[in-house]
Amino acid sequence: MSGAQALEDSHGQPDAPLSYEAASARVEEIIRRLDSGEASLKETLELVGEGKALIELCARELREVGDALQQMRLDELVSRLESEASR
């Protein structure tokens, strides 16, 4: 199963975008299933593909949040420097 397929519903239609929290929770479910040793080879391959896509989604969201926080810090620094320079 590819990453794109991993985020489709049972009818092959794309699901609504998952939140970070929902994706993270699903990754935990996948890990528990894989750790159980009960998954067939085919299911294991599907779960690994789905897990990879979800981990990439989580990483992308974390990167975006980090970038936004960095921009906020830079904006604060610029404002502080401008106010100090105008004194």
Q: What pTM, to 2 d.p., does this model score?
A: 0.69
Residue 80 class from Cβ within 10 Å (0-12 exposed, 13-18 middle, 19+ buried)? Answer: exposed
Lowest mean pLDDT among 7-16, 17-26, 27-36: 7-16
DSSP H stretches of helix in 1-87: 3-6, 20-36, 41-85
**Model pLDDT for residues 47-61, shown as the tens digit of each residue:** 999 999 999 999 999
Q: Tokens 């420097």 label which residue? A: 81
Distance between CA atoms of 20 and 45, rounded to whole angstroms? Answer: 23
All structural domains of the chain with their residue ranges = 3-85
